[in-house]
A and B are shown apart, each in its own frame.
Chain A
Amino acid sequence: MRVVFDTALITSLALSPSPRLAYFTRHLMHGCFEVITSETILDECRAVLLHPSVAKKHGLTPDGVETLLLPFYQPLVVSYAVAPFARDRQAEQVFSCALPSGADYIVSDDEAVHLAPASYGVPVIDPKRFHALLKRGHDCNIPLPYPAPGHYPRPSNPGSRLPN
């Protein structure tokens, strides 16, 4: 499953040890889903994490912030401008990343992102719903929306020919 997280969600992972956010971090580490980002999103995450009010809380050095952002550097997409609707910067950022990368979901709590037209074809879900989705996948064992790497079901008869 490939998802786009907005700046607020990525940076919150470094600020809150809440069970839900820790669940995302753990599943990301184990490759149960991929977070797709763009230069724009990463630049903003970096700026937010280095902002004095935020840096004071997490206590990381600028080098530490760079290391922390590494898992979000791949896969990185070259985003393109989208939509006249996207006057909101957050919405523009996530959609211009999600659309060219074929993301399965955008995970955001931002109201403007949720107001995006359904015709864009990338469902927008909030972190609560994403958590439920991951949980429903029984820690990646059930395909949602398709199996995570290493979790494809084995064929019942390995010797049989695959259907054309």
Chain B
Amino acid sequence: MAVQLIERSITASEARTRLGQILKEVSRTHDRITIEMRGCPAAVLVSLEIYEQWRAQWLRAFELLEQASTRANLSEKQAAKLVNEAVAAVRGSQQP
């Protein structure tokens, strides 16, 4: 089931002083917390569940990429030719 993400930012010093509390909050609410250093986003804290979801999606994408390329089984040259024809067709259909 997809989890809805709520995003907010905190400073690095707040993260340092309230880490335990923030960790509990993140794992309970699945909020995504950006930690900023000197006003710039430096890291993002997410719950393990969200991280696992992202990781699973990431691995699934590469699994599909491998399956697709094995099924198509074209040489680089053949793939480039096919893609260039498709790109030309796509661009041609988008011309005003």
Which residues of chain B have C-beta atoms less than 8 A from A60's C-beta? 64, 68
Q: Mark A47-80, 1 if CB is under 8 A from B, else 0.
A: 1100101100111100010011111000000000
Contact partner of A13 (CB less than 8 A), chosen from B69, B75, B89, B91, is B69
Which residues of chain B have C-beta atoms less than 8 A from A48's C-beta? 83, 86-87, 90
The answer to whether B86 touches A53, judged by C-beta atoms less than 8 angstroms apart, is yes
CB closest residue in chain B, given A89 = B91
The answer to whether B71 touches A57, judged by C-beta atoms less than 8 angstroms apart, is yes
Q: Mark B34-62, 1 if CB is under 8 A from A, else 0.
A: 00000000000000000000000111111
Main SS of the interface on chain B? helix
Number of interface residues, chain B, beta carbon within 8 A? 30
Known: A54-B82, A59-B71. A20 touches B76 (CB 8 A): yes
- A164: CB under 8 A from chain B? no
Which residues of chain B have C-beta atoms less than 8 A from A71's C-beta? 58, 61-62
Cα separation A164 to B69 with both chains bound (whole Å): 50
Cα separation A71 to B78 with both chains bound (whole Å): 24
CB closest residue in chain A, given B69 = A17
The answer to whether B61 touches A51, judged by C-beta atoms less than 8 angstroms apart, is no
A133 nearest CB across to chain B (Å): 17
Cα separation A8 to B68 with both chains bound (whole Å): 16
The answer to whether A17 touches B70, judged by C-beta atoms less than 8 angstroms apart, is yes
Chain B residues packing against A (C-beta within 8 Å): 57-62, 64-66, 68-76, 78-80, 82-87, 89-91
* 24 CB < 8 A contacts A-B: A7-B83, A13-B69, A14-B65, A15-B82, A16-B79, A17-B69, A21-B76, A25-B66, A25-B69, A28-B62, A29-B62, A48-B86, A48-B87, A53-B86, A54-B82, A57-B72, A58-B71, A59-B72, A67-B60, A67-B64, A70-B57, A70-B60, A71-B58, A109-B80
The 4 A-B residue pairs with the shortest CB-CB distance, nearest first, are A58-B68, A16-B79, A57-B72, A15-B79
